[in-house]
Amino acid sequence: MVALARGVVVAAVLAASLQRPNAVQPARMRSGSVPVVPPQAQGWGEEWLAVWVDTAGRVVDLEPIRSAGPPFSDVLRVAVRGWRFEPARLDDRAVATRVLVAAAFRPAGLYTFPDAGAPPRRRAPEGVPVPVATPFPPYPARARGDGAVVVEVTVGSNGRVERAEVAVGSPAFNDVSLDTVRTWMFEPARIDGGPAAAIAYVVLAYREPVVVAPVPSR
């Protein structure tokens, strides 16, 4: 079970551009952990990184696109530096590539409202798609405890999610995760000035909401 700080929902998007769809096999996440936010962290924030993955599948550089600042930026970068990938391959040869990691940290609750998203503070590097609308799912009414779901999606050249499948599931959270991820929108990756398709891994992690009982009146 993924460990998450109380009161925080973490959604991370891991996307690898399909720079030449007929020749390139994009980098795919092989292992890694979800950021753990300190319990004292308040509010919410978004942290987006363009991550360089080398020919051995290791993270060798992190390039901020959007930053919420500490503690969110710190915990995300610590986690991502430990991620490992199957490297991208071109004509059966491993190649280095950029990968988008976009994380949103928000307070947990029984209900959340769709978020229209926001553009990055600066343009993303070539080949990296960027989320522009990232609504969050509510905590499922019949779920108990914490849960995490990894959804593999195909982002079309129009920025819409064309395919979504559960890659790593948690039964009580699968359906709401798929329904939500299918509504996400991206600014598509751009290659040689034109839009390109991309694959993405969306990680939705849920923390069981804490319900505070009302104080009885005297």
Count of beta carbons in the 10 Å neighbourhood of residue 66: 20
Count of beta carbons in the 10 Å neighbourhood of residue 188: 21
Residue 213 counted as domain residue: no
Q: What phi and psi values does residue 91 have, to the nearest 5 degrees? A: 50, 45
Residue 66 counted as domain residue: yes
Residue 72 counted as domain residue: yes
Structural domain boundaries, residue 104: 8-206
Q: What's the pTM?
A: 0.74
Residue 1 counted as domain residue: no
Q: Exposed/middle/buried for 198, CB within 10 Å: 0-12, 13-18, 19+? A: buried
pLDDT tens per residue, the chain (218 residues)? 444 443 344 555 555 556 444 457 888 888 877 766 666 656 566 778 888 999 999 999 998 888 878 877 887 788 889 888 899 998 889 999 888 887 767 555 555 554 444 445 556 677 778 888 888 778 888 888 777 777 887 888 999 999 998 877 788 989 988 998 899 898 888 878 889 888 777 777 777 776 655 555 55
Domain count, the chain: 1
**Could you tell me what percentage of the chain is helix, strand and coil, using 3-state DSSP and rounding each to the nearest 5?**
10, 45, 45
Q: How far apart are CA 97 and CA 77, in angstroms?
A: 18
Residue 158 counted as domain residue: yes
Count of beta carbons in the 10 Å neighbourhood of residue 74: 14
CATH of the domain at 45: 3.30.2420.10
Residue 97 counted as domain residue: yes
Q: How far apart are CA 54 and CA 95, in angstroms?
A: 7
Residue 12 counted as domain residue: yes
Residue 218 counted as domain residue: no
The predicted pLDDT at position 210 comes to 67
The predicted pLDDT at position 8 comes to 44
Write the DSSP string, 18-38: -SSTTTEEPPEEEE-------
